[in-house]
Amino acid sequence: MPHKFLLVLSLCFLSADQPKLMKVKVNDDITISVPRDWRPMDGLDFTERYPSVRAPLAAYTNEDRTVDYSVNISATRWPDANLDMASKFFKASVTNMFDRVTMIDEGIREVNGRSFIFFEFESRVNGNKNQLGNNDPVLKYTIIQYLVEPGRTLVFSFNCAKRDREAWQKSARAMMNSIKVK
């Protein structure tokens, strides 16, 4: 009996560390969940950290601006929903963006009735020894999910520093599993 009490108490403490998620309506077709204390990124936040031609549909960050989640439409359009081919293409794209990628998990999974291509990985971008203030490598933990539809691809991306993976992995997976697209 005392062992059961300790197990229940331990589980309570472990679940207390995870932030409570709230639903956010991105637009009429997309709903996501983010931690309650996160805030939407402003335009400057996003362009400083994620230079892109396209503004995201939504982007959120924690109070310290060290953990991010975004929803975007990819420039890559597929004529059909060929997930196997798209998966190979996106994996090649992910591995080419970084100096080193260590895959934690990847594949195709069902989330709320929709099939998503996903990649969960740690990445490294080497620093530039010749550039002042840019000597150290950048190490990240990321989950990216792609919803490939004829004519558009939605991209859902979570990332934080690699050192924060343990603290955020469970929440990141919950956020990715909460996506609803009509």
Domain ranges of the chain: 19-181
Residues 50-77: tens digit of each pLDDT: 777 778 899 999 999 999 999 999 888 7
- State how far the Cα of 130 lies from the Cα of 111, in Å rounded to an integer: 45
| pLDDT reported for residue 9 | 41
Q: Which CATH architecture has domain 19-181?
A: 3-Layer(aba) Sandwich (3.40)
CB 9 within 8 A of CB 1: no
Question: pLDDT grade, residue 95 (50/70/90)?
Answer: very high
3-class DSSP string for 140-166 = EEEEEEEEEEECEEEEEEEEEEHHHHH
Residues 6-59: tens digit of each pLDDT: 444 444 444 456 789 999 999 999 999 999 999 999 877 877 777 777 788 999
This prediction has a pTM of 0.86
Residues 152-176: tens digit of each pLDDT: 899 999 999 999 999 999 999 999 9
| pLDDT reported for residue 7 | 41
What letter does residue 77 receive in the DSSP assignment? -
Residue 149: pLDDT over 50: yes
